[in-house]
Chain A
Amino acid sequence: MQSTARSFKDNVDTALADPNLQDSLSKLKVGFSERRRQAAERLPEFEALRDRARDIKNHALANLDFYLEEFERKVTALGGHVHWAPTADDARRIIADLCRSIGARTVAKSKSMVAEEIGLNEHLEALGIAPIETDLGEYIIQLRHEPPSHIIAPAVHLTKDQVADTFLEHHSKLGFTRRLTERNDLVAEARAVLRQKFLDADVGLTGANFLVAETGSSMLVTNEGNADLSNTLPRMHIVLASIEKVIPTLEDAAVLLRVLARSATGQESSAYTTLNTGPKRPGDLDGPEQYHVVILDNGRSSVLGTEMQDMLRCIRCGACMNHCPVYGAIGGHAYGWVYPGPIGAVLTPQLLGVEEAANLPNASTFCGRCESVCPVRIPLPGLMRHWREREFERHLTPKAIRQGLALWGFMARRPRLYRRMTALANRLLALLGRAEGRYRTLPLAGGWTRFRDFPAPPAGGTFHAQWRRRKP
């Protein structure tokens, strides 16, 4: 997927001026966080489970090579194949080759953020292979030629009316001329339109929430059961996942599933949890003839063993964005690439480079709400600060900010000089603001006074000046 992270500030302006987006966001902000809160309250051991989830992922990451090899051994023993893709290019090529090896014309896909990351749909289309999205949200944005705006709810930026219009526009020529607005009706209509295509698909492609080393299984959760259309009907099933998805055991998966659904949607568990373990065996009623797992690195392994490794614990639940006031103001598209919100602000600079994504880790107040809900306790603000430090070291921080900081830093390290300067500033500000108690404009503070007044200090001097007068 093409990144627009560089034009973050323009993206923000667009997002803030979009009434449909703002309408959708106002619903998301209360809905998701309230449901998560209730789910967490209903489970007394939730906080302890978060600790276990963190520990499981940490253990898996510390022994990643071992578990990945174990996973490969198991998959191979089951008659499947594991393909290693160091880069996005490699992953695209491997998948295209697999599709062409059976002369595939269509690929039934279930939602996969890694597929977005490698720009799979565009690539397949260019080769004359049609990707068919089986997830409702993905299908909607595919019709609208839009990227996802949320990692678990790709079309969350759209209002029901927008979806209804999109369906009417694309489906009426197929005989579906009623304008639908209920979610279940929309799912049913999408199914009806796509059913034959699902049945005819040559390849099924799914993402994976977890790769279980112990059994060689890939595990996938959905609420629509759509993944099962991708992995049972077609002749070939391709799982596309990144390296950090591997975990040791099914027992571990059970722990992670318990925190995943609660954090994501506030459900006790997702409606469908599917395990895929190898191709169809002799005597099986259904299942794919070929089973392939494509495992993508794309820059992740370089984080292993560094202070940034924590970001690889992410289980893509979306809670950090659901609780982020910045995401809540601007939505997912403004972040400019596949992963929005706090995890995007941490992951995107790693995957695309800090020059490309320089704004993302800066566009945060460090309010810490993301960290407080992350099921695997990723210190998201701390990781964003890490990127800010890399940017500062590499002189990517805007010049005006650097100069301002340098001046302030110089003064802050000289308390006596600082006192004299602040006493002067205080007197001046108090004098200017005497009549109103505040300013409507203030030189050098345009970013502030464009939207709000700036409170003036009362007359009488700084605290330190007054304190000296009080205690001689």
Chain B
Amino acid sequence: MALFVTCLVDLFRPSVGFAAVKLLEEAGCTVEVPPLQVCCGQPAYNSGDRATTRAIAAQVVEAFDGYDAVVAPSGSCAGMLTHHYPSLFEDDPAMQARAKNLADRSHELTSFLVDVLGMTKVAARYDGVATYHDSCSGLRELGVKQQPRRLLASVEGLELREMTSPEVCCGFGGTFCVKYPEISNAMVGEKSADIAAAGADTLLAGDLGCLMNMAGKLQREGRAVRVRHVAEVLAGLGDEAPIGEPGGSRR
């Protein structure tokens, strides 16, 4: 099977990729990372640039040709592959068939672990009280809700405490957060207050974009919440420096 690293993880948080590899390998998968992959194309897609999106999508289809499963540590990128790629090629039946085929093989990480591999627990320890934010695409396009919680419940030392509105958008929205910074700020400000009110010391989610947005706000507001990708905690890499905190990688 293949790992779709995603562009944000590649550039800003490689440990999420290694956490995903560790979880998948421990579950018995042989993980490859096709070098042709870059980004799923959402920046172009969500800006209305269909031609560029198609070119990038075609490249992704090519990159992951032949793997029996393609897994991304992101609901947003996985959702792009599964829900949007096929519709990009309405006028190109051959390409559309390949895109549909990729869509059928693509999965978000926690959903792949639980729904496909049947994983029920992980061997990890994390000392803290965590709250989990449901990123929008994962939740509403892919139905990722119970899978991460189920696995987190097996992490030793971790207590999960829900916030009031875990399903409300954090205001990231890709380019939205820089195109409409004031609205985005109002949204992430509310999210940050909700996180703080939950009384958790750790914030987890399955999408790095949302995590960077929330981490940035929590830190600007001086709130002492450690922010991590759920894969890191599940893989036992919970001792990496949290997102936006100093401290080098261990590798």
Q: Which of A375-391 contact B (CB under 8 A)?
A: 385, 387-391
Query: How many A residues touch B, CB cutoff 8 Å?
Result: 67
B38 touches A369 (CB 8 A): no
Cβ proximity bits B1-34 to A, threshold 8 Å, 1 near / 0 not: 0000101011111110110000000000000010
Q: Which of B156-207 contact A (CB under 8 A)?
A: 167-169, 171-190
B48 touches A389 (CB 8 A): yes
Which residue of B is nearest A387, CB measured?
A: B48
A452 touches B169 (CB 8 A): no
Task: A433 to B248: give the CA distance in the assembly, Å.
Answer: 11
Interface hub of B5, B35, B47, B247 (most chain A Cβ within 10 A):
B47
Asked whether any CB of chain A lies closer than 8 Å to the CB of B236, the reply is no
A426 touches B48 (CB 8 A): no
B177 touches A385 (CB 8 A): no
B17 touches A367 (CB 8 A): no
Secondary structure class of chain A's binding surface, majority of residues: helix
B46 touches A325 (CB 8 A): no
B47 touches A447 (CB 8 A): no
Decide: A447 near B39, CB < 8 A? Known: A405-B44, A463-B14.
Answer: no
Q: Which residues from B are CB-within-8-Å of A456?
A: 12, 244
Q: Which residues from A are CB-within-8-Å of B5?
A: 463-464
A365 touches B169 (CB 8 A): yes
Stretch of B99-107, B109-117, B125-133, B213-221 on the interface side: B213-221
Q: Which residues from B are CB-within-8-Å of A79?
A: none
Task: A458 to B244: give the CA distance in the assembly, Å.
Answer: 9
Task: A453 to B222: give the CA distance in the assembly, Å.
Answer: 10
- Bin the interface of chain B by size: 35 or more
Secondary structure class of chain B's binding surface, majority of residues: helix
Decide: A388 near B246, CB < 8 A? Known: A365-B176, A413-B59.
Answer: no
Cβ proximity bits A394-427 to B, threshold 8 Å, 1 near / 0 not: 0001000100010011011101001000100110
A392 touches B182 (CB 8 A): no
Decide: A389 near B173, CB < 8 A? Known: A447-B181, A450-B181, A463-B9.
Answer: no
A365 touches B48 (CB 8 A): no
Which residue of B is nearest A393, CB measured?
A: B48
B11 touches A426 (CB 8 A): yes
Q: Which residues from A are CB-within-8-Å of B189?
A: 451
Task: A434 to B174: give the CA distance in the assembly, Å.
Answer: 25
Min CB gap A49→B, angstroms: 20
Asked whether any CB of chain A lies closer than 8 Å to the CB of B52, the reply is yes
Partner of A451, one of B9, B14, B47, B181: B181
B56 touches A452 (CB 8 A): no
B246 touches A392 (CB 8 A): no
A367 touches B251 (CB 8 A): no
B181 touches A448 (CB 8 A): yes
Asked whether any CB of chain B lies closer than 8 Å to the CB of A461, the reply is yes
B186 touches A464 (CB 8 A): no
Min CB gap B51→A, angstroms: 9
Cβ proximity bits A345-377 to B, threshold 8 Å, 1 near / 0 not: 000000000000000001111111101100000
Apart from the given pairs A453-B216, A457-B14, 5 other A-B contacts in the complex at a CB distance below 8 Å: A405-B44, A436-B246, A448-B178, A458-B248, A463-B18
Mark B residues whose CB is within 8 Å of A: 5, 7, 9-15, 17-18, 33, 35-39, 41, 43-50, 52, 55-56, 59, 136-137, 140-141, 167-169, 171-190, 212-213, 215-217, 219-220, 240-241, 243-249, 251
